[in-house]
Amino acid sequence: MSLSSSLQNYLSDLDLTVPEQPNMEFVKALQSAHVARYSFNSLAVVLGEEISLGLDAISQKIVTRGLGGYCFEHNKLTFELLKALGYDVQLKLARVLNNNLEREAGRTHRVTLLTLEGVSYLVDTGFGGNGPIAPLRLDINTDQTAGLDRYRLLAKGKGEYDLQVIKDNDYFTLYRFDNAAYSDADCELGHFYSHKNPQAVFLKNLMVTLKKQDQTLALVNNEFITRDYQGEQKRLIESSESLGNILASEFDIALEPAVVEHLFIRFLEPILSVNKVGAKS
């Protein structure tokens, strides 16, 4: 089997061995290793960088440079590797709802539907802190545990499915996907909105997450959040130095001090200023 250098680098970086025949153990290992090593983040979006969806560019950015990315990058990398290894995979697009079931959301999230031995699975390496760390069987209305979280999939009719996660002892709808056929051209449309439209969530927030088997790390604007089996802890980030240290030590992302300062002034300082005014009133 011959893989492109980009896919071989991806496979080698995660220290994975290709099985003789496609199996779910490999897919589980791939998804778990991916979300624990490569951060989901909005850095390139908020810094106004050009974000290519070409496979070589994605591999260079995520694997070689360790800069992470968002769904259209992460899930393409995973999809292309599984496809090259002979897995039956289909590209699907989803509407991110975040429990607002009445929201008119566009298809701005990419996922993979994998079928093995007659069973279908949802594979998603690009949904950040709420995303699963393991494939989820397309078993309707059945709780499934993946790391710290419990999920279920609901059939909504007309070939649509909702992915839900347990939050505060209740089901929280993350996104809705369907069985339509999609291509990279469809991804380009969702990608363009996600990193160019002023109303897109990625342009308005600084977000960086890593998801491990027993711990989730998340930087969301001025908060650094850790979650494990003991619960959730939040820490306020009150200086650009602290922001830079967290990015480097927790997410292995080293940015120039001037870039960190820019991010702090743009995303953290306004929140901190509002909090200070509120504390005085």
Angstrom distance (rounded) from CA 131 to CA 172: 12
Residues 177 and 222 in one domain: no
pLDDT category, 227, cuts 50, 70, 90? Answer: very high
Supply 243's token pair: 């922001």
Return the CATH number at 263.
3.30.2140.10
Integer distance in angstroms from the first to the last C-alpha of the chain?
Answer: 67
If asked whether residues 48 and 184 sit together in one domain, one would say: yes
DSSP state of 128: G
pTM (two decimals): 0.96
Q: In this structure, are 74 and 9 located in the same domain?
A: yes
Residue 281: pLDDT band (50, 70, 90) is: low
| In contact, 94 and 109? CB cutoff 8 Å | yes
Whether 160 and 223 map to the same domain: the answer is: no
Distance CA 141, CA 75 (A): 25
How many residues does the structure list for the chain? 281
Query: Exposure of 207 by Cβ count < 10 A (0-12 exposed, 13-18 middle, 19+ buried)?
Result: buried
Q: How many CB atoms lie within 10 A of CB 132?
A: 25
Taking residues 147-166, report their average pLDDT.
96
Which amino acid type is present at position 267? F
Q: Do 156 and 72 belong to one domain?
A: yes
Same domain? For 173 and 50 the reply is yes
Residue 25 lies in a domain: yes
Domain boundary pick from 196, 223, 258: 196
CB 92 within 8 A of CB 153: no
In a domain, 266, yes or no: yes
Both 134 and 112 in one domain: the answer is yes
Mean pLDDT over the full length of the chain: 96
Q: Does residue 46 form part of some domain? A: yes
Residue at a domain's end among 139, 170, 196: 196
In a domain, 267, yes or no: yes
pLDDT 10s digits, 188-210: 999 999 999 999 999 999 999 99
Range of the domain at 226: 206-276
d(CA 109, CA 107): 6
Q: Is the model's pLDDT at 276 over the cut of 90?
A: no
- pLDDT score for 279: 59
Do 37 and 110 lie in a common domain? yes
Token digits of residue 19: 């099985």
Q: Under a CB-based contact definition with an 8 Å cutoff, are residues 122 and 14 in contact?
A: no
Is it the case that residue 32 has pLDDT exceeding 60?
yes
User: Which residues contact residue 38 at a Cβ distance below 8 angstroms, ignoring those fewer than 6 apart?
Assistant: 62, 63, 66, 68, 69, 74, 125
Residue 200 confidence (pLDDT)? 94
Question: The dihedral of CA 121, 167, 178, 71: what is its sign?
Answer: negative
CB atoms within 10 A of CB 152: 17
| pLDDT tens digits, one per residue of 10-31 | 999 999 999 999 999 999 999 9
Domain total for the chain? 2
How much is the pLDDT for 201? Answer: 95
Q: What is the pLDDT of residues 103-136, one digit of tens each?
A: 889 999 999 999 999 999 999 999 999 999 999 9
CA distance 64 to 192: 24
- Residue 275: the pLDDT is 77
- pLDDT tens-digit profile of 232-260? 999 999 999 999 999 999 999 999 999 99
> Residue 168: which pLDDT band, with cuts at 50, 70 and 90?
very high
| 66 located within any domain | yes
Q: Domain boundary residue among 150, 175, 196? A: 196
Residue 229 lies in a domain: yes
1 pLDDT more than 80? no
Statement to judge: residues 21 and 142 lie in one domain: yes
Is 281 among the domain residues? no
- Co-location of 226 and 121 in the same domain: no
Q: Is the same domain home to 21 and 42?
A: yes
pLDDT for position 274: 79
Q: What is the CATH number of the domain that holds 163?
A: 3.30.2140.20
CB-based contacts of 147-150 (< 8 A; 24+ apart in sequence): 147/32, 147/211, 147/212, 147/213, 147/214, 148/214, 148/215, 148/216, 148/227, 148/228, 148/229
- Residues 60-105: tens digit of each pLDDT: 999 999 999 999 999 999 999 999 999 999 999 999 999 998 788 9
201, part of any domain: no
Handedness of CA 161, 76, 17, 62 (dihedral sign): negative
What six digits make up the tokens of 228? 């494990």
Q: Which residues are bridge partners to 109 per DSSP?
A: 94
Q: Give the per-residue pLDDT at 278.
A: 62
Distance CA 114, CA 89 (A): 4
Residues 188, 231, single domain; the answer is: no
- 48: its two tokens: 């106004």
